[in-house]
Amino acid sequence: MIIDVHQHWEPEFMLKDFIPFICKFIQDMYISLKCPPVSLEEIEKEYSYLANDPYGERLVEHMEKSGVDKAVVFVWDRPAFTDETIMETNKRIGEMGRRFPEKLIPFASINPTREKAPEMLKKCIEDYGLKGMKWHPDVPPFNPSDKKNYPLLKVMDDYKLTLITHTGSLPIPSKGLYAHPLLLDEILVDFPNINIIAAHSGWRWWPELAGIMEWKPRIYGCLTEWQLLAVADYDKFCRTLRSMIDQMGIDRLMWGTDNPSFTALVPVKKWIEIIQGLPENAPEGIHFTREEVEAILGGNAQRLFNITA
């Protein structure tokens, strides 16, 4: 089973202003990482096609064509949303989950800076059927472990939710300090029922994430965004991934896409094939097993989310 633990969705009323911003942001990432060149027009074309999807049908069709069995899907809450529009959007995520229960795992996204965030999350869980929470603490910036967030974290703890939260620095306007994995350590101590997926495994800060994992069992990394390094410098990707597995443990690392962000550069099917081909294609002196591949692509997520085959 192949499970994508990081799939974005946007409501149609956000697309006009959001697509130009996010596509330029994506192109800046490609350039910074010295990825193969992709024009802004190509990025916008691919992103627009996948994002123009009011009911999730295009997402599910794309998953089936790419070989993805299940995906965690969510929106990114940010100041452009009001309390009303973010709740309406979370409701639609829940509707997509009910429409495609075999394919989609719907997550809420509610910034803890919202005054009524705890009550909003309860409604998302009880009325909309959402299964977890997504945060992006670097934009707009907030400290995940700030005590002001504890009422919202208490709701997550009470319902034993999984929190997917962005980790790692990104281009401007991201404020990477708030996305450092060390800020998650206190949450793991104070809320024993919350599982955390550190999206992108902290990127360049993955060793710090591994340091937390050494002592805290309920935090995981994911390879979302790492497809960029895989196509920019495959040898470096393999060396880094081998070190990540050795230090984090193979049972703590998951696979994801961050789509529709990166399909113009790395189609999902290709990203799957890169991981599947590690045992045969890794450079000399670096070895991966078939069991490790299966754990990353879906086995670990299957266990975390209690998914039966």
Location of structure tokens 């024993």:
192
pLDDT-based confidence at 175, cuts 50/70/90?
confident
Closest-CA residue to 137 (of 187, 87, 89): 187
Location of structure tokens 């319902």:
159
pLDDT at 308: 86
- Amino acid at the residue 77: D
The mean per-residue pLDDT over the stretch 122-131 comes to 99
- The model's pLDDT over 35-80, given as tens digits with 9 standing for 90+, comes to 999 999 999 999 999 999 999 999 999 999 999 999 999 999 999 9
Closest-CA residue to 167 (of 194, 189, 191, 145): 145
Domain boundaries, the chain: 3-304
| Cα(305)–Cα(296) distance, integer angstroms | 14
Has residue 140 got a pLDDT over 90? no
Q: Quick one: 3-304 is in which CATH superfamily?
A: Metal-dependent hydrolases (3.20.20.140)
Q: Is the pTM of this model over 0.85?
A: yes
pLDDT-based confidence at 174, cuts 50/70/90?
confident
Q: Give yes or no for a contact between 184 and 196, defined as CB atoms under 8 angstroms apart.
A: yes
Has residue 170 got a pLDDT over 90? no
Rg (CA), the chain: 18
Q: For residue 170, give both structure tokens.
A: 């990104």
| Cα(213)–Cα(226) distance, integer angstroms | 19
> Which residues fall within 8 angstroms of residue 297, CB to CB, at 6 or more apart?
1, 2, 3, 255, 272, 275, 276
Q: Give yes or no for a contact between 215 and 257, defined as CB atoms under 8 angstroms apart.
A: no
pLDDT at 172: 72
pLDDT at 94: 98
Has residue 139 got a pLDDT over 90? no
DSSP labels, 187-234: HHHH-TT-EEEEEGGGGGGHHHHHHHHTT-TTEEEE-TTTHHHHHH-H
The mean per-residue pLDDT over the stretch 206-212 comes to 98
